[in-house]
Chain A
Amino acid sequence: DAGVIQSPRHEVTEMGQEVTLRCKLISGHNSLFWYRQTMMRGLELLIYFNNNVPIDDSGMPEDRFSAKMPNASFSTLKIQPSEPRDSAVYFCASSRDRANQPQHFGDGTRLSIL
């Protein structure tokens, strides 16, 4: 079974540019989570979807951040315009929508904004 697939693995771009991170869920999973990991704040949830519908976006830091699920198996996280403080590792995770089901993580996108 393929795991959660994230792309790109690394992204280096200049401040002000638009950044799009991509995530493919595990087949059969219907919950999708975006996390950000930084030294200061650790691993924090940005937003999660259930059956393509955003359920909780309270972790999204600012309006510059947006996330979508155009279909049941794919999601994007967009930052526009990007800033140096957005530099972090961004993880996507998916799970089945049943109680007590663990989330399975992708290998992350390491984002550096210069």
Chain B
Amino acid sequence: GAVVSQHPSRVICKSGTSVKIECRSLDFQATTMFWYRQFPKQSLMLMATSNEGSKATYEQGVEKDKFLINHASLTLSTLTVTSAHPEDSSFYICSALRGAPDTEAFFGQGTRLTVV
């Protein structure tokens, strides 16, 4: 199947610093990528939909100035958590949407962020 690479897989950062997470689709072009957050024992929650070449669409309650998304190419989207706080500690995961006729979302391996 298609491969989506997410990096880093794990990061620990100090409160107040920023962290960038990369999501790459390795063998197909993805005009649409999604960013999710998952807290322990909870489901994936969509944070934003990222479309190549345009501004991301954020879900209600997600601060766009805090979670900066850039989708500058058809194979790369980045999520930057700015001024991170301990409550931002979570599992962040991206997915890239392969379009018709075989529509499927492929997920990155996820990034476990711990803010200390």
A and B: real partners?
Answer: no
B→A interface (CB under 8 Å): none
Chain A residues with a Cβ under 8 A of chain B: none
